[in-house]
């Protein structure tokens, strides 16, 4: 099938590459000329395992192209995916300006029937707004081409995006019951048929329910994390190991093991903004989502927990003290630092007067860009961007681990001990066992592990 993807970011590029891999003829549009030039020169704008190979293979086969040409993009696809950003507005609601601009562009140029697919995460009712914006453009130029707006939210995780897209747990498609809506559903069914070969994974519903399902999923996952973080903080006080508790409750199939890891707080481009946007939707309907407000508040506090533990141990004045930080990306296997807990930790330690040496296996360039925005020149001068994990350690009072990269899971502890000024580790992702660490001669501070 001929597919257009509007917005070649994380979701757009992965969707485009994976649909091309299945044999479709994909046109990826973006307004960012630099991004398109990079892709056309064989580069990849994000770090995502496996993506580079899929893009290269399909580019070579002529199944995927990258362009900023709006008219050509509209002419290309019978299905037009909107995968642009929906960042938080000042009041926390989703900013729909990019989604609506994409819809208008389609309305300005389309001639025949098109299926418009909202893949971006958008609040309930956005399907109607996309329809109205597009229709307005058609009316302006006296055109009457048919179209239907479908909701097909994306559930991929960064760091596992290609795998998640290719092997989805479920595909959610919301469409309306008009003749055009049925025609759109038939096209979506054909497009997603390769994913449903062994068993049917698609859930068909109305557009508003599909839009809501996406927020409900992210809000539920964020709730589990904040719940575990809150329990972990109590565990620290009452002498309980939150990891034992995690196993103990996760084995109940009604609870399950996933997303029960206490840690340094959730970050990334989605949980923080989607929890806020759902709260905002509720407020528009005069409802107060008490649980979600708490989820957000607990997470904001949790991002400060590691820094607080350091201050408790070394004092509020950290002037003249140096710390090593491992892991800057908001999670492993990505270079994304949006809302990353490491940014809060760096801020806290610098505010207390410390100097830091930081390292991440892939996010170093992004860290330099982002920390240059977060910090002033004097603060930035107190940050050293190290060449390796071991290179952070010399002269540091302690090592602080923020992201659970595989490369940090079995380090050379003797070398760490020999390099640090004091054998102290703050582990924001509970990578190690407290008793093993103590036998190895370390003072070990995990999250919820003060047993
Ligand atoms: P992103 O910022 O990585 O990419 C968005 C792209 O859209 C950018 O390259 C931008 O230049 C482009 N763009 C903006 N306006 C445009 C226009 N009018 N025409 C063409 N291109 C335009 O964003 P993302 O992380 O891919 O997120 C996109 C949406 O998907 C968001 O709603 C997000 O919540 C949702 N989502 C993201 C993830 C994820 O893991 N990142 C997962 C599921 C859902
Ligand atoms: C999340 C969802 O998992 C995806 O299904 C969804 O499509 C995506 O948001 C989105 O809407 O954009 P992502 O943000 O890429 O994906 O990453 P996650 O693996 O969900 O991790 C998010 C944050 O939660 C990370 O900071 C991670 O460290 C933290 N986390 C995760 C925990 O603290 N504990 C856990 O048990 C799991």
Annotated binding-site residue? 2? no
246 lines ligand 2 (CB under 6 A): no
DSSP 389: S
Instruction: Please name which of 169, 171, 153 lies closest in space to residue 117, comparing C-alpha atoms.
Output: 153
Element (H, E) at 352: none
Task: List the catalytic residue out of 235, 270, 278, 295.
Answer: 270
Query: Looking at ligand 1, which residue's alpha carbon is closest to its atom 18?
Result: 102
Query: Looking at ligand 1, which residue's alpha carbon is closest to its atom 28?
Result: 85
Distance of CA 101 to the CA centre of its chain: 23
Query: Looking at ligand 2, which residue's alpha carbon is closest to its atom 19?
Result: 157
Instruction: Give the distance (Å) from ligand 2 centre to CA of residue 259.
Output: 8
Question: CA 327, CA 329: separation in Å to the nearest integer?
Answer: 6
10 lines ligand 2 (CB under 6 A): no
| pLDDT for position 144 | 87
271 lines ligand 2 (CB under 6 A): yes
User: How many other β-carbons are positioned within 10 Å of the β-carbon of residue 135?
Assistant: 15
Ligand with smallest separation from the Cα of 223: 2
| pLDDT for position 83 | 98
Atom nearest to 222 CA in ligand 2: 24
Q: Exposure string (b/e) for 57-92, b if CB count within 10 Å is 16 or more?
A: ebbeeebbbbbeebeebbebbebbbbbbbbebeeeb
Query: Looking at ligand 2, which residue's alpha carbon is closest to its atom 5?
Result: 155
Contacts of 352 (CB under 8 A, 6+ apart): 307, 311, 316, 317, 318, 319
Ligand with smallest separation from the Cα of 331: 2
Tokens representing 281? 């939707």
Instruction: Give the distance (Å) from ligand 2 centre to CA of residue 178.
Output: 36
DSSP 203: E
Atom nearest to 32 CA in ligand 1: 11
Ligand with smallest separation from the Cα of 334: 2
Half-sphere exposure for 309 (CA within 13 Å, toward CB) = 30
Alpha carbon dihedral 128, 134, 138, 144, in 10-degree steps, equals -50
Query: Domains of the chain (ranges plus CATH)?
Result: 2-205 (3.40.50.720), 226-445 (3.40.50.720)
Contacts of 392 (CB under 8 A, 6+ apart): 324, 325, 326, 357, 358, 359, 384, 386, 399
48 lines ligand 2 (CB under 6 A): no
28 has catalytic annotation: no
Instruction: Please name which of 144, 131, 146 lies closest in space to residue 179, comparing C-alpha atoms.
Output: 146
Question: CA 189, CA 113: separation in Å to the nearest integer?
Answer: 17
Ligand 2 pocket test, candidate residues 270, 339, 345, most atoms within 8 A of CB: 270
Tokens representing 290? 């008490």
The pocket around ligand 1, CB under 6 angstroms, is made up of: 6-12, 29-32, 35, 83-86, 98, 101-102, 120-121, 154, 156, 158, 269-270
10-residue averages of pLDDT along the chain (451 residues): 97 98 98 98 95 97 98 98 95 95 98 97 98 97 95 96 96 97 98 93 98 98 98 96 98 98 96 96 95 98 97 97 98 95 98 98 97 97 98 97 97 97 97 96 96 63
User: How many other β-carbons are positioned within 10 Å of the β-carbon of residue 304?
Assistant: 17
In angstroms, the first-to-last Cα distance of the chain is 58
8 A C-beta contact, residue 397 and residue 323: yes
| pLDDT for position 198 | 86
């Amino acid at each position: 099938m001929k597919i257009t993807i509007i917005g070649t970011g994380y979701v757009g590029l992965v969707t485009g590459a994976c649909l091309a891999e299945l044999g479709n003829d994909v046109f990826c549009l973006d307004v960012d000329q630099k991004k398109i030039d990079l892709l056309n020169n064989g580069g990849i704008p994000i770090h995502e395992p496996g993506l580079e190979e899929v893009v290269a293979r399909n580019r070579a086969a002529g199944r995927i192209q990258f362009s900023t040409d709006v008219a050509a993009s509209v002419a290309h696809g019978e299905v037009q995916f909107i995968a642009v950003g929906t960042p938080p507005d000042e009041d926390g609601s989703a900013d729909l300006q990019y989604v609506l601009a994409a819809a208008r562009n389609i309305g300005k140029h389309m001639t025949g029937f098109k299926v418009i697919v909202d893949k971006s995460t958008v609040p309930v009712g956005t399907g109607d707004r996309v329809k109205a914006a597009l229709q307005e453009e058609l009316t302006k130029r006296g055109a009457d081409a048919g179209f239907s707006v479908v909701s097909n939210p994306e559930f991929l995780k960064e760091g596992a995006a290609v795998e998640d897209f290719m092997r989805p747990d479920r595909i959610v498609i919301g469409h309306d019951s008009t003749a055009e809506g049925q025609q759109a559903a038939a096209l979506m069914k054909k497009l997603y048929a390769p994913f449903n070969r062994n068993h049917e994974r698609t859930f068909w519903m109305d557009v508003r329910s599909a839009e809501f399902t996406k927020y409900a999923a992210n809000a539920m996952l964020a709730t589990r994390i904040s719940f575990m973080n809150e329990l972990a903080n109590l565990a620290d006080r009452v002498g309980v190991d939150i990891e034992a508790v995690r196993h103990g409750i996760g084995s109940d199939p009604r609870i399950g093991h996933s997303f029960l890891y206490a840690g340094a707080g959730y970050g990334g481009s989605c949980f923080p903004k989607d929890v806020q946007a759902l709260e905002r939707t509720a407020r528009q309907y005069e409802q107060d989502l008490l649980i979600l407000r708490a989820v957000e508040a607990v997470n904001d506090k949790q991002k400060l927990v590691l820094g607080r533990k350091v201050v408790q141990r070394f004092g509020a004045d950290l002037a003249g003290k140096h710390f090593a930080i491992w892991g800057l990306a908001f999670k492993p296997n990505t270079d994304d630092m949006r809302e990353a807990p490491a940014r809060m930790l760096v801020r806290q330690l610098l505010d207390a007067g410390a100097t830091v040496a930081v390292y991440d296996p892939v996010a170093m360039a992004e860290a330099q860009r982002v920390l240059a925005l977060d910090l002033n020149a004097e603060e930035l001068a107190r940050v050293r961007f190290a060449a390796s994990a071991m290179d952070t350690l010399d002269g540091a009072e302690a090592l602080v681990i923020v992201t659970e990269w595989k490369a940090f899971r079995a380090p050379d502890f003797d070398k760490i001990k020999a390099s640090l000024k004091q054998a102290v580790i703050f582990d924001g992702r509970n990578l190690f066992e407290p008793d093993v660490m103590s036998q190895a001669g370390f003072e070990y501070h995990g999250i919820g592990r003060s047993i």
